[in-house]
Amino acid sequence: MHRLRRWQSLGLALLSLIGLFACGCQLFPGRGNYPGQQGVAFPGAPGTLGALSDPVFQNMEINAEASDFVVYDHEFIGDTVRLNYDGQDHVKQIAARMRHGSTFPVIVERSFSSPIPDDPYNFPIHPSPELDNRRRLVIVKALQVMGIQNADDFVTVAPALAWPMDHNDTRRAHRNIDTRNGYGAGGYGGMGGMGFGGLGMFGFF
């Protein structure tokens, strides 16, 4: 008798499980409904491989691509509108990618170059919108000379998209400016065989 009842209980449990799967109920609430989950074997199963992670990685790639179009403050020589060698190379790369159809905005990183009067540490903590706008105009004209006629529609002044450089990075960058470029960085000589050495007329190389 006890054995019969045990078999009856197992049978009822099995029928209950079959009913759950047949009606599409989820055994684990909160799981399922993932992107790409169509055609899974049973409710609550994860989706296809990468259905959750791929969109995250793709978004990271897009953000990284956008950061490639930021002209950083340390790519200019001191508190001037003149680009150092790294800045010149960077603008050439931006122009090349824009000629191939890139539509990311070109961001001139906002600068902080006006210290408090009588500040013994001379920290640059105040924004300098006049300098930033002059730098923006420099980048616009450089891109136009390199074939991006609508550059004025793409270039803007804003904070950089990525986390800013720390003091060690900035010290290293400015040390490279002083040792490699001095304060007489040359022009866009050659520029991929295009010969734009006359860009010095704009006063930014």
Distances (CA, A) of 197 to 21, 90, 177: 74, 17, 21
**Predicted TM-score of the model (pTM):** 0.56
What's the rounded mean pLDDT across residues 52-56? Answer: 87
Q: Return the bridge partners of 127, or none.
A: 112
Alpha helices for the chain (secondary structure H): 2-23, 53-67, 85-99, 129-145, 167-176
What is the predicted pLDDT for the residue at 61? 87
pLDDT above 70: percentage of residues in the chain: 56
Give the pLDDT mean for 49-67: 86
Instruction: Give residues with Cβ within 8 angstroms of 134, minimum separation 6.
Output: 81
